[in-house]
Structure 1
Amino acid sequence: MADSYSSCSIPHTFHPSMVNNPNPNETNPEFVKSSDDIEKCTACHKILWDPFQLPCGHHVCPVGLDRVLEEGRCLVMDCKLPCSSNQIFADACKRREIGSLEVRCGYQACKKIIKWKELEKHMESCEYREVTCDKCCELVKMYNMEKHLDEDCVQRILHCPEGCGYSTSAINMSEHLSDECPNVILSCPNECGMTQASREQLRNHVTECPLRRVACRFKDVGCPFEGLNDDIHKHSEDAVPYHLELIALREEAVENVTRSHIDDMKLTIEQILRQGQEVKKIKDENEKLKKDCQINRKSIQDLKKVLVTQGEKVIVNERHLQEKASTDGAEKIKSELSAVKDMIDGTKQRLETVERATGSVGQNRGEGNAVERAEKQVRLMDVRVCEIDLRLQLFETINYNGVLMWKIRDYRRRKMEAVNGRTLSLYSQPFYTSQYGYKLCGRVYLNGDGTGKGAYLSFFVVVMKGDFDALLPWPFMLPVTFMLLDQNGTGLHERESFTPNPTSNSFHKPTTEMNVACGVPRFVSHTKLESDTYLKEDIVFLRIVVDCTNANYQY
């Protein structure tokens, strides 16, 4: 069996293509023995790994082996024995010896000493490694995860300490107690002396409190006065002139606004009437031009018929010319042929004159509309070609395994367009759970949507109308995982998973091109997303994975 720190077993005979294992020296393991006591590669003088034996008996690592093959001999000063690739062998015995060296675990708090070949396996399961909490996404030591979930996690579920029966996450519990809980004991804000009442009792009390302050009934027209009931009655009697003045000012303002709206409407109506007259005039001119064009087309067709007839005559005369042997007959036919050619040239000139006249009329009378229509048709064809090219590109990148890999370029420009309201969301190319399965796509709001707007990236999945929906079970119930991929190679991907709600219309059989998107409005904050871990060269990678393991259809 191969040692655990190597990705393949040792070959019996060396070949350069076999040197593909990662260099364990790059991980800098801490050896129990002094590095001076550990055997080194005779070529590069680093700790020996994946050892190969030369014909002279010296050992080299894969890196040193490249140098040996370049030189064509051993690099030990006292040896220099020539060697070739077919004389070099992998030393399995030396490899087991090197792999049995004792090293310390790479995590500082862990005191375990293990064999070098078992180091990677140990570190994958070491209780001192840091793992990401599935609820709050914080890094926690593995041995401390249980305590973290029970006592420290801000997303752990707590029951209201006041006994109202409400449950929420720890981070939201203080907000519940301060704003919502009906059992919290409060005092009357009017300082009427009531100090031991629950929030629910206080709501009923405030409407009946003898010290509650009431706004003046003319507050809608601008009166700012507030006071107790007795003060309000006295104010209403004393401030009648003031209230009348406020009402008059409000009526005047409303009248001014109404008058302004009426003036704007009048201007709009006049513009519409003028445009209607211009449109009618243009229609009349177009009708006249159509009639002229029809007449010109008929003339052109007649001239073309004459031209064809004359051409046939020319062909017949040429044949007659070939059949006549006498000089007089030839001269006569040549003369007739010359007359026919002159007639054809004249006909061509007439045809060109008519065509130029048709073009001149069109230019003078708005015939440019025909050119514009032609240009419009060309533009429509260009758009159609672009659409076909885009569909071909989508077809080349389509996935039938329930996985979407989405590369978003120009992130900062696209986010600024979302902030400015120009492009609120982006759609991905479609992907499928199988060749005849569900059709899906991704949708992302770079500046957030709903509760995540302005501070988060919102990530959603959309169920689209597919060609085989009639054969699939509904509603769509396959688990979905959203991911923001780490571009540093450390594997710290941001992820969020959920199982579709069968009662949601988002997962029922589509009746339009696509259903309402469903996903995570607060998928990842802009602060975390725009770090060097996830944003490089103005590019981010998003991924959607649909778990098709338990799909209850087979085609």
Structure 2
Amino acid sequence: MTESPLSIPVYEGSMLSLRSRSSIPSVSRSRPLTGLAKRKSEPEPKWKHGELESKYRCTACNSYLRFPVQFEDCGHYICSSCLPDIMRVAPRCPTCQQPVSRDKIVNDKTLQKEIQSLDVYCFSKEKGCTWEGTLKDYTVHTETCGFVMIDCPNECGVRFEKRFLTKHQTEDCPKRKVACEFCKTSVVFEDEIPHLNICTEFKIPCPNQCSDQEFSRGQIQSHLDNECPKQELSCPFNECGCDYRGQRIDIAKHMKESPGVHLNVAGRTITIQKKLLQAFEERISEQKKWIELLAGKVNALEKTYGAQYIWKIDHYQERLEEARTNKKTTLFSPPFLTSRHGYRLALSICLCGDGRAKGKYVSLFICLCRGDYDSLLSWPFSHRVTFTLIDQCEDVNNRRPIIYTVKPNICKENKPFLGRPVTDRNPSFGAQKFTDLDAMATLEYIKDDTIYIKVDIDNEEMIII
């Protein structure tokens, strides 16, 4: 007897929530369908009263019905976890092959309770598991049953019954953790021998067999360098020309017996060192002269080519009035190069502002122009640009220039501005609000009806051709 159809929980890969008597929404088929395959791989309990009756068995997965659902047209049952795979392609009842409809599928809670109350043994009963109970408690038991086959948690590749887990992890697993006997570091068991080959605390005897004492691998070199009486050493005057070599215990005797020889070689070495020192001092003196000469040349070049470009704009008041009356809103500078074979650029200025800045600010821009050496340069253009409105105060120390820096943002949207020019010049980018118009009248930015705009291009990462 079936109950009124209710919503069935989705589990174990199920992708379908069953309807009430009204229509149900269509089912998404984009997720993987693993319920049927998973059910077939699960161990089935031993049934206390013999073989499981066919009315309790799912014809799709051939296991007991779990959360059974019934096809109303033919009356057959399957597990709700098997339903998504059945409905995925051509929905048919696996028992009679009759077509089924999503609108005619109901769950049977009465049958579910009847199945869950069946008496069962553990599937490992023949191996020695003594558990028995009802099917509803079977899943809980399988989670703790010691006869369940599991993979090693350390991923060593061994598969064994769960009851042997502790023994395997403490005695057999090649990937179990053990403490090094010498440095106490935790290492994987199969890596213990390679670790001992490099362990700094591993005890080893002196290679010169100076005693029966053992030293840690990390201390042995110090022992050889400073303590071992049998370590072979060179005479302390070796660099002065004494070729004697002997054990540490013989070096003291050699030093005592050969003071004259050592005094001679030391004196000879001092004489040679004095001559070399004099030669080095003469060489250093020559290098200092060259450095001073080159520093002067560099200083001269920096003064000559300090900024890539300084733009002189004369007749300022006349040009400002033309901008205000829209006769000539934009002025363009002559093109200039960042270096002898560098990027070709040009400045543009709107003395009365551009766009939203019009009437309030001075707008200053720069653009990339097509040049003769573009194929040799790196694109898109990514170098920092610094605009400077020069204060023409006679006292250089009191000048207060207006400085604005632009760092190009390399992105797809800015390619028309920063990419290699395909026409005479790219669209301009820069400072729409470079400085407000009122600031222009302060200090000495305007002098003799002239202003100066300096532009510096950061060339730290620029390709120099």
Question: TM class, shorter-chain normalised?
Answer: 0.3 to 0.5
Task: Tell me which protein shows more strand as a share of its residues.
Answer: 2
Greater relative contact order (Cα < 8 A, sep 6+): 2
Task: Tell me which protein shows more helix as a share of its residues.
Answer: 1
